[in-house]
Structure 1
Amino acid sequence: MEKQAMLIGIDVGGTFTDVIALVPANGQIVASFKVPSTPDDPAAAVIDALQRLAGIRSLQGATVCHGTTVGTNTLIQRKGARVGLLTTAGFTDIIELRRQDRPTLYHLAVRVSEPLVPHERRFGADERLDACGRVVQPLMGVDALLDQIRSSGADAFAISCLHAYANPTHEVRLAEALKQAFPGRFISVSHDVCPEFREYERTSTTVVNAYIGPAVQRYVRRLDEEAHRMGIRSLMVVKSNGGLTSPDNAQRYPVHLIESGPAAGMIATQAYARATRRPNLIAFDMGGTTAKAGVIHDFQPRITDEFRADRLEGGRDVGGYPIRSAVLDIVEVGAGGGSVAWIDPGGVPKVGPDSAGADPGPACYGRGGDLPTVTDAHAVIGTLTSETFAGTGIHFSRDAAVDAIERHIARPMGWPLARAAHAIIEIAVANMTEMVRLATVRRGYDPREFAILASGGAGPLHAALVGAEVGVREVLVPPQSGIFSALGAVLGEVRHDVSATLLTPLEALDPQAVADAFEGLATKAAGLLAAESADPANARQQRFADLRFVGQLFELRVPLGEVGDPMPSVATIEARFRTAYRGAFGFDLAGSRVELVNVHLVASLPLKMQGERLFEPAVAVPDGAAPRQCPYMDRDGHVQPVALYHAQGCAGQSLQGPALIDHSGSTIWVPQGTIARVQVDGSVVFRLSAGRKHGLE
């Protein structure tokens, strides 16, 4: 009988590239492993992983779902294109003027992110539209404008004219002129990338799309060509909204991929929540370079329409670059296993945001790294052993970790080795605890009503420590926790969020104008779906509207039903908005008028894989093997034995802490006095007792 084509998930992290391959019909996992990432050429690790898979099972007809950090890294490392910005004359400095706000209001030495387009590559077009899209000044002098651009050295272009969301005519003409004058160059146009009002945010989104566009385009094209050469049927890329998209659409809207990798982990968390009937989960993912936290509330991830990319510089908020795009709400800090420990000029030890990355990596990797990291601290105290890195190509060396911490932290601080190692871990935990509070308390959620689900190579090792600090009572480590984002990549669905501004008071709303706006969005969505490998006939299209009280600056989104359903009446739309407003803020502004701001359409297509199948209970028999005793060093330097279990041999068993559990590419720390239950589906669950200390003691 012919084998069914595989569904392959690949997530590229700063240290490792994670891979999982499974059979979509029954969820059978064919292979799962990690390979070292190749930061200088990220595609190389992906291609190597696919070649390794090909040695296990044929890739013919397979589908690859890929979470990528190429766009993010291009932006952070400032290795993007030399962008030329074309906008309305008199508005060329909008990306520098911003909104005249400051990242930290009272900071006397405030720094803000440098504009991605310098002043000499900003060009003003002789044209003007009013807020309704009526032509005030026709577009003129295009040839003279092109002459200026030719001498600028620009190799990609962003076009963002004033009020183009209401009438794209001038932007269309400018784009056509650029295509003829500069064939093959990447062109990003605001009415296509972000057709919404708010000039700064729309321009910023368009510029970021152009800045990372050529790099993402080269990367995706190369992977797509290599994949087809190997017999793979289709490559799909994870978007910031958690959905999947084709290579063609990914190259058209690179800005939609900025949060590609973190989004996949949230989708896996949502699938686990549904399968285990846990409506409220905190997704806690700690990898080699960063830690991330997001919330699943009532089985749904929180989605926002604006975020700021590259917001932190050296741990300081510098504002970043606003991007108007549907994105899963995820908080991220530079606190991964590879985060470097250092001492600031005031003699205070710090951890992160700099990371040792994949090359050279932590000192204990034996690749020439000599700076102390969080991973090295665990190697020193014994909570990481060589078994953790089996099959990864890493030659584990505790001695190298001891040397790095001694030289850079312990001796300069006058501390014993054990105190220095534990301090590194405690500082990293404090950073991640604040991150989780930002994702929960700052969003109006009580962490005590949630369980924390740990994933990533280092997440399960720190989940109990972070969970105890924020007050959660239950820690969950799912199956395949070490490659959870790769798993999430195959659990997504094709999804496109399209929007348009339709600013009007609700009482003056023209039903035909609303119908026309949604018809335009449906046409755009149909074009995007036509570029996907899945059958667009199965698409689901949902309508939404952004509303606010007149005079307010921010909106709330309300559902308007699916395309094909009758449009709700104006009274129903207003009632839904007021209900949502009371739910969000606890009161209603009864005498205030409501206005419509934007309309949205979400088009989605299901894929082959249903996440619930991966988390179904399975028949598992414990192997009865005795745990290995590992030497563990406490904060005072005392060494005691701690049991190290292998999860696959302990299904159905309860394990008494303190203990370590080797679990699908990660290590779980079970605190003293805690009992961990290894479930038959491969997950590990334990509860944290209120008032009990759950540190590495």
Structure 2
Amino acid sequence: MKRVAVDIGGTFTDCFVVWDGNYVQRKALTTHHNLALGFNEALDYACGDLGVDREALLSEVDSVRYATTLGTNALIQRRGPKVAVLVTAGFKSVLPISRGRGYGEGLDISRQMDIPNAARPDPLVPIPMIRQVRERIDYKGAVVMDIDEDDLRLQLRELVDKGAEALVVMLANSVVNPDHELRVREIFLEEYPAHMLGALPIVLSHQVAGRKGEYVRGMSAIMDAFLHKVMYHGLGTLELNLRNSGYQRPMLVVHNSGGMAQLNSTDALQTVHSGPVSGVAASEHLAMEAGLGNVVATDMGGTSFDIGIVVEGGVKHYDFNPVIERWMVSVPMVHLVTLGAGGGSVATFDRMYNTVKVGPESAGSDPGPASYDRGGLKPTVTDTDLLLGYLDPENYAGGKIKLNPRRAKRAIEDSLCDELDLDTIEVCKLIKQTVDANMANGMAAELRARGYDPGQFTMLAYGGNGPLHACGIARSLGIGHILAPPYSSVFSACGAGNMHQMHIHESSVFMVLFDSNRKQLFNDYTRFNEIVADLEMRGSEDLTRQGMRTEDIRYRLELDMRYGNQRVETAVVTELSRLASMADVLKLMDQFHTSYGDRFGAGSQAPEAGVRINTIRVCAYVELETVRFAGIKPTGPDKAPGAPVGSRACHFVGVDGAVETPIYDDAALEEGTRIVGPAIVVTTATTYLVEPGWQYRAAGQGAVWFKQLAD
């Protein structure tokens, strides 16, 4: 297997190369003005390790996979075209009202509760760019009123005259009958052929999101149109760079659904958060191969801290109406919680509580933390780790970045020391304690909200800063076991290299499995089976268009179900692919009954209200060869580490004064090596901090276990 996988983050571009059994991990700073430059630099480092030039490597690999935060950054910066929207007459206020939740979605709890200062985000589409189409289709898909085509042509001309650069069509009930949205596209192309307006995109909402709900479906289509240009040029530049370097196969892009596809089969919206999702996918793969049981995946990079949950058996949690930035959308996405807590997170003085606040603002890669010596003036977590003695200023990021302790000290003194009336080291300890507690609180809230006990989970700590802060986070959370997985500093890129090609298609339906009034079971098997077959066909077409063999395609059927008129829906994954009898219907209802009870507690089920299916979803995928993880669990006798390569005065939370701390190098990754903290292990890829009261033990493939020692 020969493969290149890349995770382009806000601070670093991570590269993971598989080359005939050799696994190479490398990093470079992300070059936001041209992502290809950072990719080339990281890949060239990897090529140097393998002794092969870039062109030769790219001419032989079977695939190049990208996970990127390009879309996420574009949303944060509001960098996109002027979008116009056509809606059904009478629905003009659906988007501005945002289901009455626009004030709080995408904010943390404290800001959601701050009602006096509540404010909606700046809209991606201003109200004057929303126009109404005279037409109507009912909830069953029947045409109530045909399109007034003359009025439609007038609305289109006015929007184009106002400078529309992308057009979204969001008509009521188009997911059950898309004819009117398709006709709008035909009329638009009649009025403005491609040779007249060039590449002005038109996005039909039913093609982006297949479920009912005008607001979330409309926002999905708007976000897709808003990101289209930046993703087209950004990823197009990356693909052109590959062509110039000798790579001739299609470029693959990781999707936030947990799969990947070729660039020409990828919607812009599917790429948002694809980097962190790759890490969750890698965690799932590792947990299943190594038998780790319940795992909480934590990715601490330079900009953010991402949390994902993988319960025993490798089951991922999905969000079917995730909030991206400040808007709810309607696309299946692997569930993630993202906190503004990374190595580049800025520390500021909180006047209200007379303490320090860390994040969500980040210094990114340009200018970066003050210690990068690139013009950054604000103190960050990386500056703190440097002054506490955890980082080697001459050997950061494999020696590619030299850190300046004087810059870091000046930034902290100028911003925080006088305000807090503490010396520099005490301020640094406070910053570390705060950022570790923030991440622990975020993990605790996520696990307990889903009914899980943190003590029953193994914490996976990866990302550039994961192994550096793992002990502090776990201590605050009450988790006694931590695994820094193989290739931890580029684990999300490793996950991108393990992805299967996959597409998810779904359809909104109104199916009553059990009618409580009539005491009848569902018997329209033909309708159900036809919808499933159509979704399978769409997934199969997507994959065969990308060169996959039909016989290799697998399908997974998922149903969103609920009791009666409840608003809460439960996703049920079923082994059934078709319904053929009353027994199948009863089996499906029993699965739903069990899933509902597991989620909300035994006895909470309400079959007397009836059972309904709201969404049918089919995942079509092809399993590809993956990286194998072996020997992850500690076995065999402990080994004493070799002699330290040096020592450094370090400062730890809860410990007075400096502690002379031994430093070890890559030799400490030899399987079985056991080190009792305090200690620091500095490798070419990352830094492991073993805090007092913890032990370090190396396992196979460079995996490292941390265990809290008994008091």
TM over 0.5: yes
> Aligned residue for 2:440?
433
> Aligned residue for 2:257?
241
> Aligned residue for 2:216?
201
In 2 relative to 1, CA 162–675 (structure 1 residues): closer, same or farther, beyond 3 Å?
same
The alignment status of 1:646 with 2:665, answered yes or no, reads yes
Total equivalences in the alignment: 673
Choose from 388, 399, 403 the match for 1:396.
Answer: 403
Q: In the TM superposition, what whole-angstrom CA distance separates every residue of 1:16-73 from its partner, at most 9, and x where no partner exists?
A: 11111113x64x21x3211111123333312443455556422213211111111111
Task: Look up the equivalent residue of 1:309 and give its one-letter code.
Answer: I
> Aligned residue for 2:642?
624
> Aligned residue for 1:370?
377
The alignment status of 1:87 with 2:93, answered yes or no, reads no
> Aligned residue for 1:317?
none
Q: Distance in 2 between matches of 1:158 and 1:611?
A: 44
Q: CA deviation at 1:578?
A: 1.1
Q: In the TM superposition, what whole-angstrom CA distance separates every residue of 1:102-156 from its partner, at most 9, and x where no partner exists?
A: 5236622212223210011111111111111111110112322222122121111
Task: Look up the equivalent residue of 1:326 and give its one-letter code.
Answer: P
Q: CA deviation at 1:399?
A: 1.6
Matches within 5 A, 1:483-502: 483-502=490-509
Secondary structure in structure 1 of the residue aligned to 2:432 = helix
Secondary structure in structure 2 of the residue aligned to 1:97 = helix
Q: Distance in 2 between matches of 1:386 and 1:294?
A: 32
Q: In the TM superposition, what whole-angstrom CA distance separates every residue of 1:348-405 from its partner, at most 9, and x where no partner exists?
A: 4211111111011111112121211000011111011135415453121112111111
Matches within 5 A, 1:136-147: 136-140=144-148, 141=150, 142-147=152-157
Matches within 5 A, 1:474-623: 474-506=481-513, 507-561=521-575, 563=577, 569-586=584-601, 587=603, 588-612=605-629
In 2 relative to 1, CA 147–459 (structure 1 residues): closer, same or farther, beyond 3 Å?
same
> Aligned residue for 1:293?
307
Q: CA deviation at 1:276?
A: 1.9
Q: Given that residues 228 and 234 in structure 1 are in contact (C-alpha distance below 8 angstroms), is that contact kept between their aligned partners in structure 2?
A: no
Choose from 435, 443, 460 the match for 1:453.
Answer: 460
Q: Given that residues 395 and 401 in structure 2 are in contact (C-alpha distance below 8 angstroms), is that contact kept between their aligned partners in structure 1?
A: no
> Aligned residue for 1:329?
335
Q: Given that residues 631 and 699 in structure 2 are in contact (C-alpha distance below 8 angstroms), is that contact kept between their aligned partners in structure 1?
A: no
> Aligned residue for 1:187?
202
Secondary structure in structure 2 of the residue aligned to 1:472 = coil
In 2 relative to 1, CA 681–618 (structure 1 residues): closer, same or farther, beyond 3 Å?
farther
TM-score w.r.t. length of structure 2: 0.90
Task: Look up the equivalent residue of 2:27 and give its one-letter code.
Answer: K
The alignment status of 1:338 with 2:331, answered yes or no, reads no
Q: Given that residues 480 and 664 in structure 1 are in contact (C-alpha distance below 8 angstroms), is that contact kept between their aligned partners in structure 2?
A: no
Q: In the TM superposition, what whole-angstrom CA distance separates every residue of 1:380-438 from its partner, at most 9, and x where no partner exists?
A: 11011135415453121112111111111112322111111111111111221121123
TM-score w.r.t. length of structure 1: 0.92
In 2 relative to 1, CA 392–629 (structure 1 residues): closer, same or farther, beyond 3 Å?
closer
> Aligned residue for 1:210?
225
Choose from 235, 259, 262 the match for 1:220.
Answer: 235
Q: Given that residues 547 and 595 in structure 1 are in contact (C-alpha distance below 8 angstroms), is that contact kept between their aligned partners in structure 2?
A: yes
In 2 relative to 1, CA 590–514 (structure 1 residues): closer, same or farther, beyond 3 Å?
closer
> Aligned residue for 2:286?
272
> Aligned residue for 2:70?
70
Task: Look up the equivalent residue of 2:589 and give its one-letter code.
Answer: E
Secondary structure in structure 2 of the residue aligned to 1:275 = helix
Secondary structure in structure 2 of the residue aligned to 1:600 = strand
Secondary structure in structure 1 of the residue aligned to 2:595 = helix
The alignment status of 1:357 with 2:326, answered yes or no, reads no
Q: Distance in 2 between matches of 1:672 and 1:222?
A: 47
Q: Distance in 1 between matches of 2:523 and 2:215?
A: 27
The alignment status of 1:303 with 2:296, answered yes or no, reads no
Secondary structure in structure 2 of the residue aligned to 1:415 = coil
Q: CA deviation at 1:622?
A: 8.8
In 2 relative to 1, CA 681–488 (structure 1 residues): closer, same or farther, beyond 3 Å?
same
Q: Given that residues 451 and 475 in structure 1 are in contact (C-alpha distance below 8 angstroms), is that contact kept between their aligned partners in structure 2?
A: yes
Q: Distance in 2 between matches of 1:165 and 1:689?
A: 57
Q: Distance in 2 between matches of 1:332 and 1:661?
A: 28
Q: Given that residues 651 and 657 in structure 2 are in contact (C-alpha distance below 8 angstroms), is that contact kept between their aligned partners in structure 1?
A: yes
In 2 relative to 1, CA 625–552 (structure 1 residues): closer, same or farther, beyond 3 Å?
same
Q: Given that residues 545 and 598 in structure 1 are in contact (C-alpha distance below 8 angstroms), is that contact kept between their aligned partners in structure 2?
A: yes
Q: Distance in 1 between matches of 2:379 and 2:709?
A: 32
Secondary structure in structure 1 of the residue aligned to 2:224 = helix
> Aligned residue for 1:421?
428
Q: CA deviation at 1:579?
A: 1.6
Q: Distance in 2 between matches of 1:179 and 1:44?
A: 37
Structure 1 residues 323-332 or 161-170, which shifts more? 323-332
RMSD between aligned residues: 2.3
In 2 relative to 1, CA 175–617 (structure 1 residues): closer, same or farther, beyond 3 Å?
farther
Q: Given that residues 305 and 327 in structure 1 are in contact (C-alpha distance below 8 angstroms), is that contact kept between their aligned partners in structure 2?
A: yes
The alignment status of 1:684 with 2:704, answered yes or no, reads yes
Q: Distance in 1 between matches of 2:580 and 2:460?
A: 40
Q: Given that residues 669 and 704 in structure 2 are in contact (C-alpha distance below 8 angstroms), is that contact kept between their aligned partners in structure 1?
A: no
Q: Given that residues 268 and 611 in structure 1 are in contact (C-alpha distance below 8 angstroms), is that contact kept between their aligned partners in structure 2?
A: no
Q: Which ranges of structure 2 fall in alignment gaps of 5 or more residues?
A: 105-111, 514-520
Task: Look up the equivalent residue of 1:532 and give its one-letter code.
Answer: Q
Q: Distance in 2 between matches of 1:166 and 1:541?
A: 22
Task: Look up the equivalent residue of 1:596 and give its one-letter code.
Answer: I
Q: Distance in 1 between matches of 2:608 and 2:635?
A: 58
Q: In the TM superposition, what whole-angstrom CA distance separates every residue of 1:607-654 from its partner, at most 9, and x where no partner exists?
A: 222443696999999983434111213567722310111244451211
> Aligned residue for 1:152?
162
Structure 1 residues 176-185 or 134-143, which shifts more? 176-185
> Aligned residue for 2:475?
468
In 2 relative to 1, CA 625–688 (structure 1 residues): closer, same or farther, beyond 3 Å?
closer
Q: Distance in 2 between matches of 1:124 and 1:647?
A: 64
Q: In the TM superposition, what whole-angstrom CA distance separates every residue of 1:455-501 from its partner, at most 9, and x where no partner exists?
A: 01111111111111111120111121111111111011111111001
> Aligned residue for 2:185?
175
Q: Given that residues 624 and 650 in structure 1 are in contact (C-alpha distance below 8 angstroms), is that contact kept between their aligned partners in structure 2?
A: no
Q: CA deviation at 1:570?
A: 1.8
Choose from 628, 651, 654 the match for 1:633.
Answer: 651
Structure 1 residues 130-139 or 632-641, which shifts more? 632-641
In 2 relative to 1, CA 589–616 (structure 1 residues): closer, same or farther, beyond 3 Å?
closer
Matches within 5 A, 1:653-692: 653-663=673-683, 665-689=685-709
Identity %: 28
> Aligned residue for 1:695?
none
Secondary structure in structure 1 of the residue aligned to 2:239 = helix
Q: Distance in 2 between matches of 1:41 and 1:230?
A: 16
> Aligned residue for 1:131?
139
In 2 relative to 1, CA 420–266 (structure 1 residues): closer, same or farther, beyond 3 Å?
same
Q: CA deviation at 1:330?
A: 1.0
> Aligned residue for 1:38?
31
In 2 relative to 1, CA 53–618 (structure 1 residues): closer, same or farther, beyond 3 Å?
farther
> Aligned residue for 1:164?
174
Structure 1 residues 11-20 or 295-304, which shifts more? 295-304
Q: CA deviation at 1:664?
A: 5.1
Secondary structure in structure 2 of the residue aligned to 1:44 = helix
Secondary structure in structure 2 of the residue aligned to 1:185 = coil
